[in-house]
Chain A
Amino acid sequence: MKVFFKIWRQLNSDTKGQFHDYEVDNISSEMSFLEALDTLNESLVKKGESVIAFDHDCREGICGQCGVFINGRAHGPNDNTTTCQLHMRSFSQGDTIVVEPWRAKAFRVVKDLVVDRSSFDRIIQSGGFMSTKTGTAPEANSILIGKDVADYSMDAAACIGCGACVATCKNSSAALFTSAKITHLNSLPQGSPEQNARVLGMTNQMELEDFGHCSFTGACEIECPEQISISNIARMNHDLLKANLLK
């Protein structure tokens, strides 16, 4: 089928960007969205033009590296999916597809559709870990964790760090991302000794990185490929209040 792309091109962080129009007519419905971009890029190379840069890697919906705004939605028209798992059967012959990079002050545009999400790494560096060492750890079954707690922790741990939650939020808040990690670790017995320091450190870093505040509209949960629940944000706020009281 033939589709029209309207794609954001921007040379680097220091230059202004703008939309460019492209037409591609050898798209099949089985192709993933990224394969459609590959096809477009190959045609650009044939014409001697430089390719459109976009982030991607595993193309199995798990690495979290792919992510663009498609027709005004993070990762495209389907709920709870990554861009690599969006397929062209979700579009129709003759559609115009608008593609933009993630939109957030804390996500600098590196080039075209590629953004810098190192702010997420710095949030993790400020407490998203256990201070455990590699030497002898206690026997795993000596820490009993009920299935419900393990599942609850796993639900939050499933976050792939793609940034869709930030990009889709009106305030560019990183609350869903940060709270998912806090819930994953704080809900486990191994994570509880450091829970106060963790929530204080991570929320403080979130603010330093220029993410906006959460106003609980819930858009993040709708766009999250892993269906991370906004109830994690409530838990983060609860843990933060407690940590502040005990400070």
Chain B
Amino acid sequence: MKLDAKIPKGELEKKWSNYQANCNLVNTANKKKFDIIVVGSGLAGAGAAATLAELGYKVKCFCYQDSPRRAHSVAAQGGINAAKNYQHDGDSVWRMFYDTLKGGDFRSREANVYRLAELSAPLIDHFTAQGVPFAREYGGVLSNRSFGGVQVQRTFYARGQTGQQLLVAAYSQLSKMVASGGVTMFTREEMLDLVTIDGKARGIVTRDLETGEIKKHSAHAVVLATGGYSRVFRLSTLAIGCNGSAIWSAHKKGALFAGPSFTQIHPTALPQTSESQSKLTLMSESLRNDGRIWVPLKANDSRKAEDIPEEERDYYLERRYPSFGNLCPRDIASRAAKERIDNGHGVGALKNAVYLDFKHAIARLGEDTVKDRYGNLFNMYEKITGINAYKEPMLISPAAHFSMGGLWVDYELMTTVNGLYAIGECNYSDHGANRLGANSLLQASIDGYFILPNTINNYLSTELNKEIPGVDHSEFSKSEKLVKEKIERLMNINGRKTVDEFHRELGAVMWQECAMSRNKLGLENAIEKIKEIKSSFWNEVIVTGSDKELNPELEKALRLSDFIELAELMCLDALERDESCGAHFREEFQTKEGEALRDDEKYSYVSAWEYNEGDYKVHKEKLEFEYIKPTVRSYK
């Protein structure tokens, strides 16, 4: 299979405008002839659904939550990047492009990343027009702060609730189009299969989570905007319902899966405190602007933080990475924390955390300023831990977070299945092997608002006035039957182990072998263990209740059955890549100082996996760097 990324010709700066000038359009009068399915209602999904409907397309939008306003984009705290150069600190589209490409360890496409930076500035204008109450200076202009991996202030924010405010804006736009009849919204309805006919995406099969009814929906094109899959680790910063089922079913129907093992471990989550924990809570990376990270210099030091004098504290990020310090990228900060914790310097009850200290910031800026910048995060911290972080340092720990991997897409955001698009976190596109903070809201938003509504025309224009198969087509019936059989099988196993028990087992294997650092032996063992978990799951799981009602156990079981298969592919991908890059740290490939050792000669490609009944085959999209020269990624 030849992977054609469809990169437009011309200078880097002109690729997107060249594309727009030359792609096919669909006449306004013809747009109403097309049905489009959008699965997911987060920033990418709601933005796409609202914009496509605004253009005149008939849109059906689906989410598993009770309302599209709950989508997990809501949880992003710190901000959204844009190359506005409001601070006059040397920022530019080019610098943002370079920072993002470097941050991703040169494992993403130049053209995509440049477009990301290029569309960032108008996106801020767009959100402002929608009423996002971005932080402002006293004079009325927008305010900025810094995030990891960059040396300029290009992050726009709305207190510690940027994701919430952007999502609510997108949800408002979606609501506007629901009211006008342009979008039909389906809540509490989950996609369980993709239907393809003659190599084209033609619809989906869903389960109505309230009644259990299996439904079929046809369309001219299907857009997946279903977010990340880091719940494969069970404990992650993701919402409990986040899952990979939609993209996994698309993968099984022919969409290649790119870079599955590239999952980011976020350095500033709250540490795990018990076995029964269901998730880990993220604390915004923005805290690293003013908080200083340290551990006791002496291993196994059991003194309280306040009893450890300055000279016996190790500000290890400032020590190892003097030019970026506490604002080094997430993969670097997470690995550095793991290294300290593994060597006995961890703090907290389970010795699995490091300190994030605001003592110096409070002395320098005063408590009021710190409160103004991060007040809600401090409140949240106190609610969860019972600790007042104005008085003592926060305890933070690395946790599974964003998945850079996802369905392979070309420049148009189309997967390898015609008419199937993947936008936002569920695709593999702009972040490479590591995502920089505040680039996730950006990518999801531009994919949904700006890129897809342009690129989808190119495909739809070729479908004009062609009859599309309806839901009575045999492929729909086949999918429906498969989904029903899977549910029936799960309901009838009546084993002894709960879904959560299996998920904990899977999570433990993945966290141990396929998270912050990986090695050949560990990955090989993990693959064997995952196979055992899979076999055991299908023989021993118990799902109670009925499939004809709201049944959270059945929902979890269906999602976990897909996570188990995805986990195996993640390990295969990590095993295939004999190098270290970004979030993928193979222990065999590191420098003497313990930094990642990239191998551009052999691995400068996107690994894109083809499914064939569990026998995966890797295809390679070679990455061409025409405008920049990949360099050793240093933040020292």
Contacts and interface: CB of A to CB of B under 8 A. Distances in A.
B255 interface: no
Interface string B105-147: 0000000000000000010111011110111111111100000
Interface string A153-165: 1100110110000
A35 B240 CA distance: 12
A137 B128 contact: yes
Given A30-B274, A124-B172, A53 B54 contact: no
Interface in A148-200: 149-151, 153-154, 157-158, 160-161, 184-185, 188, 190-191
A64 B278 contact: no
B276 A38 contact: yes
A157 B133 contact: yes
Interface in B65-83: 65-70, 72, 74-75
A92 interface: no
A190 B171 contact: no
Indicate the size class of the contact surface on chain A.
Answer: 35 or more
A6 interface: no
Interface residues of B, number: 81
Interface stretch (B362-370, B380-388, B427-435, B457-465): B380-388
Nearest to A124: B175
A134 B383 CA distance: 39
A143 B384 contact: no
A145 B140 contact: yes
B29 interface: no
A185 B133 CA distance: 9
B264 interface: no
Contacts of B141: 141, 144
B274 A138 contact: no
Nearest to B179: A125
Nearest to B279: A59
A130 to B, nearest CB: 5
Interface of B: 51, 54, 65-70, 72, 74-75, 84, 86, 122, 124-126, 128-131, 133-142, 158-159, 161, 163-165, 168, 171-173, 175-176, 178-179, 185, 187, 210, 237, 239-241, 273-274, 276-279, 281-282, 380, 383-384, 386, 449-450, 453, 498-501, 542-546, 549-553
26 contacts: A34-B278, A45-B543, A57-B72, A57-B239, A60-B237, A61-B383, A63-B70, A64-B69, A65-B66, A121-B69, A121-B178, A121-B187, A125-B179, A128-B172, A129-B175, A132-B126, A137-B122, A138-B129, A139-B125, A140-B84, A146-B136, A150-B133, A154-B158, A188-B131, A190-B128, A190-B130
Given A59-B239, A132-B173, 19 more contacts: A42-B500, A49-B544, A60-B281, A60-B380, A62-B74, A63-B65, A63-B72, A64-B74, A65-B66, A125-B176, A129-B176, A130-B129, A138-B125, A138-B129, A144-B139, A146-B139, A154-B135, A190-B128, A190-B130
Interface of A: 11-12, 26, 28, 30-32, 34-35, 38-39, 41-42, 44-46, 48-51, 53, 55-65, 78, 81, 85, 87, 89, 110-111, 114, 116-118, 120-121, 124-126, 128-134, 136-141, 143-147, 149-151, 153-154, 157-158, 160-161, 184-185, 188, 190-191
